Amino acid sequence: MRQSDHRVQFRLSGYSEVMNARLTSRGAATKRRIVQGAAMLMREQGAAETNLDQVLQVTATSKSQLFHYFPDGRTGLLLAVTDFEAEQAMEAQRPYIDDLSTIESWTAWRDAVVRHYVELGQRCPMGALTSELGTSSPEARRAVSDLFDRWEGALMAGVQSLLVAGLVPADVPVRDTARCILTAIQGGVVMLRATDRVSYLKTALDAALRPILGASVAA
Amino acid sequence: MRQSDHRVQFRLSGYSEVMNARLTSRGAATKRRIVQGAAMLMREQGAAETNLDQVLQVTATSKSQLFHYFPDGRTGLLLAVTDFEAEQAMEAQRPYIDDLSTIESWTAWRDAVVRHYVELGQRCPMGALTSELGTSSPEARRAVSDLFDRWEGALMAGVQSLLVAGLVPADVPVRDTARCILTAIQGGVVMLRATDRVSYLKTALDAALRPILGASVAA
DNA sequence: CTCGCATTGGACTTGGCGGTCCAATAATCT
DNA sequence: AGATTATTGGACCGCCAAGTCCAATGCGAG
């Protein structure tokens, strides 16, 4: 790969973006279409089972376009899809994740999370992507760990604001509580994928939330 | 694949095994060697990055042998490795997992689990395998879900025996507690793979164990 | 011993798929 | 308008890895 052309690599807020010297709106649209189409296919059949020809077909583009907008080919596309899906994961929790300062917003958030993963069911985009890119690309590892950092940060902010509002005992450890909640979600998703049962996610998430929401969560 | 030869497919206790009409001890040894070599490679570099030639080289076997003992080729081998690794996952928890009737055995088990996954570090065999076989083979799904069922069963038995011994409050829900513990482990492993930090596993597992071990677990 | 089947070696075929290339066309700028 | 660059189409290449095949050899049974 001898890609020393006029493109420049930027790094901003945790994900990499290829900026062309000039990128028309048409080009940007094509690029977006490719990422979203690829993401869709990978949700359906997994990243490993998705090849470039399928992406071309489903997005009505040609090889030259794909390699024009993703000079690193498949690897670059996978990375872009990873960034995209990471953003989707956060998006699914909005608006609640951004303001977890009340008991109500926490329960609303919990419901949104459960609903999201129930919808997703078997297909977990990030899970499939990380396992394929895990070893090869350090970029992808960064994208995933950035996602988890942002996620953890948002949860910590939530716990903290409950704490300062006195809605929660003062001895609740902020970071550990946030981490338990996040870990419960990830474990719940693993179990959901493996067993097709949602109860693991629900039960573990409720248990992780118990220190801050009390025993009232049992629906 | 026109494989209607003299082999017969058996199904016993959750995993499939190919029984040859006659299988010499030498043949059995070769087969075992292939599975273990493949498992080792897949731990090192991931399942997707491991090809048959590497397996042949590392196990000192030839193509014909591999396809002789695994008529379904790569798929069959992957399945065998999945079964193997599922067994290894349980093995890593022995002897503790088989008798969780005391507080001491629980803490010893906890330590063994954490130690095991710290050793494993990035490379999580089951995680890598399930994502590759997840969609394609329903057999592999079975293997994984069987593993989790056995795991959950062992944990439930442990909680139950604490309960009848009166070492734990009577209102502890056996199944839900076991599921929370299992989910905490899975989530902890996901976070370990993603962030390279063990604290998620430790913290979440301790939190999940708190209902039965009390607050004394904080090391 | 010798017959038959299990076991083994390794060359060969095949296809899929990532990646390259060039030429045509559409925008954009001056 | 004309020059320049972005965008597009799609034929083509070449590699890699899975799977096939046949012939040679070991090994146990009668």
Is the separation of the CB atoms in A46 and B131 below 8 Å?
yes
Q: What is the pLDDT of residue A76?
A: 96
Residues 6+ apart with CB under 8 A from B213: B103, B106, B107
Whether residues B131 and A135 touch (CB distance < 8 A) is answered with: no
Scanning every residue of chain B, which has its alpha carbon at the shortest distance from the alpha carbon of A129? B131
Query: Which among A152, A92, A86, A73 is positioned nearest to A125, based on CA atoms?
Result: A86
Angle at B194 between CA A178 and CA A197, to 5 degrees: 70
Token pair, residue B39, equals 């498992």
Q: How would you classify residue A137: left for phi > 0, otherwise alpha for psi between -120 and 50, otherwise beta?
A: beta
Report the C-alpha gap between A207 and B67 in whole angstroms.
Answer: 48
- The dihedral built from the CA positions of residue A158, A161, A167 and A171, taken in this order, carries a sign that is positive
Half-sphere exposure of A177 (CA within 13 A, CB side): 22
Residue A134 CB neighbour total at 10 angstroms? 23
Is the pLDDT at B42 greater than 90? The verdict is yes
Q: Indicate if CB(A1) is under 7 A from strand C.
A: yes
Percentage of residues of chain B with pLDDT beyond 70: 87
CB A132 within 8 A of CB A74: no
Tokens of residue A203, six digits: 């039960």
pLDDT of B14 over the 80 cut: no
Tokens of A5: 């052309």
pLDDT of residue B3: 32
As a whole number, mean pLDDT of residues A116-137 equals 82
DSSP 3-state percent helix, strand, coil across chain B (nearest 5): 70, 5, 25
Q: How far apart are CA B150 and CA B90, in angstroms?
A: 9
Residue B61 banded pLDDT, cuts 50, 70, 90: very high
State how beta strands B15-19 and B8-12 pair: antiparallel
* pLDDT tier, B31 (very low <50, low <70, confident <90, very high otherwise): very high
Picking from A100-114, A127-141, A172-186, which range would have the lowest pLDDT averaged per residue? Answer: A127-141
Q: Give residue A196's Cα distance to chain centre.
A: 20
What is the model's pLDDT at position B161? 97
> How many other C-beta atoms lie within 10 A of the C-beta of residue A12?
8
Which alpha helices (DSSP H) does A8-124 contain, by range? 25-45, 52-59, 63-69, 73-91, 103-120
Q: Which residue type is seen at B156?
A: M
pLDDT band at B208 (very low <50, low <70, confident <90, very high): very high
pLDDT for the residue numbered A168: 95
Q: Which of A93-97, B15-19, B192-196 shows the lowest per-residue confidence on average (mean pLDDT)?
A: B15-19
CA at B60, C1' at D27: how many angstroms apart?
Answer: 21
Q: Nucleotides on strand D with an atom closer than 7 A to protein CB?
A: 5-12, 16-23, 27-28
Look at residues B113, B116, B122 and name the one whose alpha carbon lies nearest to residue B196: B122
In whole angstroms, C4 C1' to A57 CA is: 54
Predicted local distance difference test score (pLDDT) of residue B127: 80
Q: How confident is the model at residue A94 (pLDDT cuts 50, 70, 90)?
A: very high
pLDDT of residue B215: 59
The residue count for chain B: 219
For the cut 60, the answer to whether the pLDDT of residue B15 exceeds it is: no
Residues of chain B in contact with residue A14, where contact means CB-CB under 8 angstroms, are none
Distance CA B137, CA B148 (A): 17
A183 at interface of B, judged by CB pairs closer than 8 A:
yes
Convert the pLDDT of each residue in B151-184 to its tens digit: 999 999 999 999 999 999 999 999 999 999 999 9
Instruction: Give the closest residue to B122 by CA, choosing from B184, B188, B39, B189.
Output: B189
Choice among A26-30, A48-52, B85-89, B213-217 with the minimum mean pLDDT: B213-217
Which residue in the set B45, B131, B145 is minimally distant from A195, CB to CB?
A: B145
A54, pLDDT greater than 90: yes
If you measure CA to CA, which chain A residue comes closest to B206? A180
User: CA angle at residue B174 from B119 to B154, to 5 degrees?
Assistant: 40
Q: How many CB atoms lie within 10 A of CB A135?
A: 17
Instruction: State residue A21's pLDDT score.
Output: 53
Identify all chain B residues contacting A184, using CB atoms and an 8 Å cutoff: 180, 183-184, 187, 204
User: For D9, which residue's CA is nearest its C1'?
Assistant: A62
Footprint of strand D on the protein (CB under 7 A): A 6, 20-24, 26-28, 30, 60-65, 67-68; B 1-2, 24-26, 51-53, 63-64, 67, 73-75
User: Is residue B99 pLDDT above 70, yes or no?
Assistant: yes
pLDDT at B216: 56
Residue B35 to chain A, least CA–CA distance (Å): 21
pLDDT at residue A18 is higher than 50:
no
- Find where tokens 């959950």 sit: B152
B205 → chain A, closest CA residue? A180
Q: Nearest nucleotide by C1' from B62 CA? A: C9
**CB < 8 Å to B203, chain A:** 176, 179-180, 183
Q: Is A148 exposed, middle or buried (0-12, 13-18, 19+ CB in 10 A)?
A: buried
Nearest to B131 among A128, A141, A176 (CB): A128
- Give, for B163, the enclosing helix (H) or strand (E): helix B138-164
For residues A69-76, give the mean pLDDT.
Answer: 96
Higher pLDDT, A6 or A45: A45
Give me the pLDDT at residue B22, please. Answer: 74
A21-42 pLDDT, tens per residue?
A: 578 889 899 999 999 999 999 9
Chain A residue with minimum CA distance to B42: A135
| pLDDT tens-digit map of B110-145 | 999 999 999 998 888 888 787 777 666 888 889 999
Percent of chain A with pLDDT over 70: 87
Judge whether residue A4 contacts strand C, using its CB and a 7 Å cut-off: no
Of B153, B155, B151, B180, nearest in space to B105 by CA: B155
CA distance B137 to chain A (A): 12
Please, what is the average pLDDT of chain A?
88
Contacts of A142 (CB under 8 A, 6+ apart): A14
Q: What is the pLDDT of residue A137?
A: 79
Query: With an 8 Å Cβ cutoff, are B182 and A194 in contact?
Result: no
Q: Give me the pLDDT at residue A1, please.
A: 33
Residue A151 has pLDDT above 70, yes or no: yes
